[in-house]
Structure 1
Amino acid sequence: MTTTAVRGSGRSYQVCRRCVMDTSDTHISFDETGLCEYCQHFDTTIAPNWQHGGDPARQLPELVRKIKKVGQRARYDCVIGVSGGLDSSYAAYVAVKKLGLRPLLYHVDAGWNTAHAVRNIASLVDGLGLDLVTDVINWSEMQDLQLAFFKAQVPDLDMPQDVAFFSSLYRYARRNDINFVVTGTNFLTECCREPEEWGAYPGIDRGLVRDIHRKFGHRKLRTFPIADVLEYRILYHYIYRIRRVDILNFIPYSKLQAEQELAENLGWQPFLHKHHESRFTRFFEDYWLREKFGYDKRKAHFSSLIMTGEMTREDAVKRLESPELDEQTMAGEFSFIAAKLGIAENDLRQLFSGPNGTVRSFRNKHMLISAGWNLLRRVGLERRLLR
């Protein structure tokens, strides 16, 4: 456990004795027994307060009644953003089949959907008898913003997609007077939040996005949706009265069981790994982030499943021995991504070889956002560890 140096950290290598989080998170700490701070935080803060079918789940019937009452005269009583992935798909299934809600499905097409994801979304629409609204992001703006992030040499390459998904969904809910946004966010598969240095910036920061685009972009972002963190936390919550409901935290939720239910009842098919519904995210997480920066997000994903009893540590260690996609497949993806972004493959490889940067080099609201997270944690509205 102390034989290998960690890239750029000056620390000896160490991995948690329970999960697979390690010193590739350069700020991670361990107790005297070798248990990492993520596992300690799960034991002390998340597990005792988790609404995973325990006593707090008694809040669910009242919450469902409120959603139905507020939306009783509307066509839809809530909206659910769907990607075709497991968590959002199962949230939609639970909302309809187990809670009797009348959701509208909402999908944001940022130009990177896999055919697999499209089929899964269609299975939800057909199998649950729901309406679907799709917001197709202006591709020239999306392409230009993503290229700007590549040129900025930051590990937060998925930020443009995340900003578009979240901002478009909440903008639609506000414009159409939908008061409840049901999400697939959950502790079971996401209790171990990726550290910020791995490209997990803690909120939508309009200033950061626009500063990177101002320095490296070329097209004006005339239609690209950006709901700044202040707009979301204040306007949407207190003025527009839009409430987020992480429905999967209120019910017994098993990853394998959910995949089986969706497959048997809707014809939905699972992915090889989390976030593979987006071809860009699959490439970014499985190749670019790991090979260029040395960060493997699977460690956080698998650690969440280990902590919640959905995966054994032995299986996680074995999976981590090799990438999710083979070398030949990834080489083809490299060519595809370059062509989709409108640049030569050699230009993309030059960006890959360039010096690594950080979003802290650009104008940002990081201190304000971090203060907000800490406040949410103190009042019990956020349980995960943010670093």
Structure 2
Amino acid sequence: MKDYQVCTNCVMDTTDTKITFDENGVCDHCLDFEQNVQPNWHTDERGKHELDAIVSKIKKDGEGRDFDCIMGMSGGADSSYLLHVMVKEYGLRPLVFHVDGGWNSDVAVHNINVMIDKLGLDLFTEVINWEEMKDFQLTFLKSNLPNIDIPQDHAFVATLYDFADKYKIKYILNGGNISTECIRNPLEWLYYGTDMALIKDLRKQFSTNPMKTYPFSSVLRHKFYLRYIKKVQVIKPLNYFPYIKTEAVKFLQDEYSWKAPAQKHFESRFTKFYEGYWLPKKFGYDTRKVQLSSLIVTGQMSRDEALKILEKPAISEEEAKHEFEFVANKLEIPVEELYAYFNQPNKTYKDYKNQESLFDFGAKILKFIGVERSIKR
């Protein structure tokens, strides 16, 4: 086992077991950003011109249609700010949808409503069958894998592409961005949520529900078939202009009475429980290190500020107790059963059937053709 070490530039450390450091103690996450991402990331006039051209094409292709693009809305800062910019500043007409997996926080509901109301948009909401979602989440809890949030993530991705296919929309606006997400979660922390071999193996072992309506989607369907055969394009507009998280949040608060979640992804009650307590306490993986490191390398936060934040847990033991009760009650299991899952031996995706080799091959192809600049996980 490696001796504990933390990067001298960001706050990534050896809880990422694949991390490496150069002679100055700078980690490969930072070096990957510096060498592969930053040189190809343009938020100046060049980026503006590129985005202007993309928007013009979206508008032209959308003539005569009710919507010219589609985007999902979670209630978080990235999707909220993206919606504002694309509608108010660029005049796009998105089909806005939200996937309700049963775990919306009050903050998320508020944020979605104020944005939709003030922008005068319609919201399409897809409600996932709760009995299926509940069974799927219990399946992941029983698996002892780190990423027990796959049931929510998979439903969101699959529904996004289903909506695009159903309404024949060729452009998906995505709030993913380099500014706050350039450092990626290590694969051992958050494994691919669309690995159908893994999902089928887990369901075979632990599921009790046939899940006839849950929106499953394989990576080949949305990464290859819909993208290259049906020509559905994913656009990430926040990468084409300066996106400063604190400024965006302040703007949303002032303009829309928007409320900031306590932490990135905490607009979901289950994700708050999972990323705030379950993942760091059971597995030692604190996703704040990834989030804060992204802000450090993009100049939005100092390393000292990030280290100060990490001195305290995302969720206190007292708050965690309430979260355990809330999640157990929602899943209709005794709290003791949830604690039992928490205390079981940890496993990794390698303990189950998986398609890691397929994902690796696909990532290398995407990097080769220039779709992705980095494959560091």
Displacement after TM superposition at 1:179 (Å): 1.0
After superposition, the C-alpha distances for 1:217-265 in whole angstroms (9 at most, x for unaligned) are 1011101111100011221112222110001001111111111111111
- How far apart, in 2, do the equivalents of 1:88 and 1:384 lie? 23
**1:172 alignment partner AA:** F
8 Å contact kept, 1:276–1:282:
yes
Displacement after TM superposition at 1:54 (Å): 4.9
| Structure 2 counterparts to residues 249-288 of structure 1, below 5 A | 249-288=239-278
Structure 1 unmatched ranges of 5 or more? 1-9
- How far apart, in 2, do the equivalents of 1:315 and 1:29 lie? 23
Residue 289 of structure 1 is matched in structure 2 by: 279
After superposition, the C-alpha distances for 1:29-73 in whole angstroms (9 at most, x for unaligned) are 000000000111111111111132352442111100100011111
Q: Secondary structure in 1 aligned to 2:188?
A: helix
Matched, 1:222 2:232: no
Residue 340 of structure 2 is matched in structure 1 by: 350
Residue 123 of structure 1 is matched in structure 2 by: 114
- How far apart, in 2, do the equivalents of 1:129 and 1:20 lie? 41
- How far apart, in 2, do the equivalents of 1:121 and 1:141 lie? 24
| Structure 2 counterparts to residues 367-382 of structure 1, below 5 A | 367-382=357-372
Displacement after TM superposition at 1:100 (Å): 1.0
Matched, 1:17 2:3: no
Q: Secondary structure in 2 aligned to 1:196?
A: coil
8 Å contact kept, 1:334–1:345:
yes
Correspondent of 1:132 among 101, 123, 126: 123
Matched, 1:43 2:34: yes
8 Å contact kept, 2:48–2:241:
yes
- How far apart, in 1, do the equivalents of 2:193 and 2:366 lie? 13
Detail structure 1 runs of 4+ shifted over 4 Å in the superposition. none
8 Å contact kept, 1:19–1:39:
yes
Q: Secondary structure in 1 aligned to 2:254?
A: helix
After superposition, the C-alpha distances for 1:124-151 in whole angstroms (9 at most, x for unaligned) are 1011111100000000000001101110
Displacement after TM superposition at 1:202 (Å): 3.3
Displacement after TM superposition at 1:207 (Å): 2.1
- How far apart, in 1, do the equivalents of 2:43 and 2:361 lie? 28
**1:124 alignment partner AA:** M
**2:57 alignment partner AA:** K
Residue 200 of structure 2 is matched in structure 1 by: 210
Name the TM-score, length of structure 1 as normaliser: 0.95
- How far apart, in 2, do the equivalents of 1:328 and 1:268 lie? 27
After superposition, the C-alpha distances for 1:168-225 in whole angstroms (9 at most, x for unaligned) are 1110110111111101000011000000111x22351122112101110101110111
RMSD of Structure 2 on Structure 1 (CA): 1.1
- How far apart, in 2, do the equivalents of 1:327 and 1:229 lie? 38
- How far apart, in 2, do the equivalents of 1:375 and 1:294 lie? 32
Correspondent of 2:356 among 359, 362, 366: 366
Residue 52 of structure 1 is matched in structure 2 by: 43
- How far apart, in 1, do the equivalents of 2:242 and 2:92 lie? 18
8 Å contact kept, 2:178–2:239:
yes
| Structure 2 counterparts to residues 1-387 of structure 1, below 5 A | 10-198=1-189, 200-202=190-192, 204-387=194-377
Q: Secondary structure in 2 aligned to 1:352?
A: helix
**2:39 alignment partner AA:** P
Which 10-residue stretch deviates more, 308-317 or 320-329? 320-329
